[in-house]
Structure 1
Amino acid sequence: MKLRYMMGAVAAALVLAGCGEDEIELVKNYTLPDFKSMSIGTAIEGSKRCKNITWSKADRGGLKSVTMVCDIDVEAINAEREKATKKRLEEYSKDAINSNMDSTMEFYRGKAYDRNSLLQLANKLCKLNDTKFQETIKAKGKIEYKDQKELIDCDKSLEDEILKDQDPKKDKTYLSGVLDFLKSAVYYSQLTPEQLKASYGASNKKAPSSATIELNFVANNDKSVDLAPGFKIMSDGKEEPAGKNDTSKDALAVFYAR
């Protein structure tokens, strides 16, 4: 009798353990209607955003809940974000140079220089004043458009070159316009990547050293799975408030991005 009782108890324990595991596996293997590209487990465990993933189960008010906690690979995310930011700022810088040179050429009436050679001349005779740049960043936290030309120091000979082979009486009226837009083009031409970031205040934002994201799922009796509405993001041990319109569906969608 004792042996039979012990075997029964062990069998019951195994059944219960198996049911617990089934709830987690059910969630992992389930494909949500709004995320049909892959199962929940494939999306989360195949994502490069987590360096460690923990799955756990709980019974909450009769609902079988499965919690997923992702220890975010902060270093990789920051590197990815840094790369994207650098690319975006570089593209903006190129657009700004082109836009300012378009305006420069509208004012420039000479024939001595074309678009490219005029920009080369300006970069040779004008320099970004880093001391003024740093002082402006310290005072304002960023560089405003009106500050740009004030940060560029040009040799007086630039004006003579702009007016070369022209009638000064006619063309000096255009000189200030040429210089203003040309200085802005030089500004973007000479900025280092770090200065470019600092000019938008990007370098002042401190990245977290650790972060986690928690999602909750409900394992229903009919073997279907629901994504619970609540989710949690922790940054350096403190809970981060979710955006006004952010939902758990938005948080889950991050893991499906490839």
Structure 2
Amino acid sequence: MKLRYMMGAVAAALVLAGCGEDEIELVKNYTLPDFKSMSIGTAIEGSKRCKNITWSKADRGGLKSVTMVCDIDMEALNAAKEKATKERLEKYNKDAINSNMDSIMEFYRGKAYDRNSLLQLANKLCKLNDAKFQETIKAKGKIEYKDQKELIDCDKSLEDEILKDQDPKKDKTYLPGILDFLKSAVYHSQLTPEQLKADYGMSDKAAPSSATIELNFVVNNDKSVDLAPEFKLTADGKEESVGKNVTSKNALAEFYVR
């Protein structure tokens, strides 16, 4: 009888324990009204942003709370940022080349070269002077549009080639403008990735080697879940300040990006 009573008591205890959901699992399985595409746990644990995730329970003034800490995968994050930066800079550079070539072809009256062959000719006879480039960056911290043509050294034969098969009296009027735009096109054509970053005003500040993001969720008495406004971002162990427009909602939204 005693054994049967003990087994019954244990079974009853297990049933009662099963009636109360663990706060962590409740948060993970909860779908917030502002993020209906997936549950909190699916979004965070399915994100590629974290290499490690820890969940813990806490008490917030009598309210049950769950804290999530994500150890950000810095290698993946830096690779993604580098790729995005490269694509943005390449587009910026391509647009600059096209804009200058559009201006050139409005003035160029010759038949010896088309758009592409004219740019090829200029790249053959003109070179970007890296020493002047570095001096300008050091002095100004950036390259202005008016500086670009001063950083390009061209062979004198370029002028004769531009005027070939044309009426020099007529086309010499347009020659200075053509040369200016052509030098700017060459400038953007010959920029190295490092020079392009400097031109764009990007510093070579080293990225942090480690970073974490902490989010907090409040479990209400009715088992609904709210995202707490407090969140924390650290880099190399030091807490980072965030702008006024960056909220815990913004931070959580990043985990839903697929």
TM-score between the two structures when normalised by the length of structure 2: 0.90
CA distance in 2, matches of 1:164, 1:39: 69
2:52 is aligned to 52
CA distance in 1, matches of 2:99, 2:219: 56
CA distance in 1, matches of 2:240, 2:199: 27
**1:128-147 equivalent positions in 2, closer than 5 A:** 128-147=128-147
Deviation at 1:18, TM superposition (A): 9.4
Structure 2: which 5+ runs fail to align?
none
Deviation at 1:49, TM superposition (A): 0.4
Deviation at 1:201, TM superposition (A): 2.5
Q: Equivalent residue of 2:164, what SS?
A: coil
Deviation at 1:17, TM superposition (A): 11
CA distance in 2, matches of 1:18, 1:96: 65
Specify the code of the residue in structure 2 equivalent to 1:143: I
**1:192-207 equivalent positions in 2, closer than 5 A:** 192-207=192-207
**1:15-94 equivalent positions in 2, closer than 5 A:** 22-94=22-94
Deviation at 1:170, TM superposition (A): 2.0
Specify the code of the residue in structure 2 equivalent to 1:42: T
2:223 is aligned to 223
Deviation at 1:169, TM superposition (A): 2.2
Deviation at 1:16, TM superposition (A): 8.1
CA distance in 1, matches of 2:208, 2:18: 38
The farther-off stretch of 159-168 and 72-81 is 159-168
Specify the code of the residue in structure 2 equivalent to 1:116: N
Deviation at 1:22, TM superposition (A): 0.4
Specify the code of the residue in structure 1 equivalent to 2:246: D
Say what the alpha-carbon RMSD is for the aligned residues.
Answer: 2.5
Q: Equivalent residue of 2:180, what SS?
A: helix
Q: Equivalent residue of 1:204, what SS?
A: coil
1:113 is aligned to 113
Task: Find out whether 1:234 has 2:234 as its counterpart.
Answer: yes
1:183 is aligned to 183
The farther-off stretch of 108-117 and 42-51 is 108-117
Q: Equivalent residue of 1:121, what SS?
A: helix
CA distance in 1, matches of 2:197, 2:19: 53
The farther-off stretch of 229-238 and 24-33 is 229-238
Q: Equivalent residue of 1:229, what SS?
A: strand
| Cα pair distance change 1:142/1:233, threshold 3 Å | same
TM-score between the two structures when normalised by the length of structure 1: 0.90
CA distance in 1, matches of 2:221, 2:231: 23
Deviation at 1:115, TM superposition (A): 0.8
Q: Equivalent residue of 2:148, what SS?
A: helix
Specify the code of the residue in structure 1 equivalent to 2:219: A
Large movers: runs of 4+ above 4 Å: 14-19
For each residue in 1:159-184, what CA deviation from the matched residue of structure 2 results, as whole angstroms up to 9, or x when unmatched?
Answer: 11111222222221111100111111
Deviation at 1:246, TM superposition (A): 1.5
Deviation at 1:15, TM superposition (A): 7.5
Task: Find out whether 1:123 has 2:123 as its counterpart.
Answer: yes
The farther-off stretch of 237-246 and 176-185 is 237-246
CA distance in 1, matches of 2:54, 2:107: 63
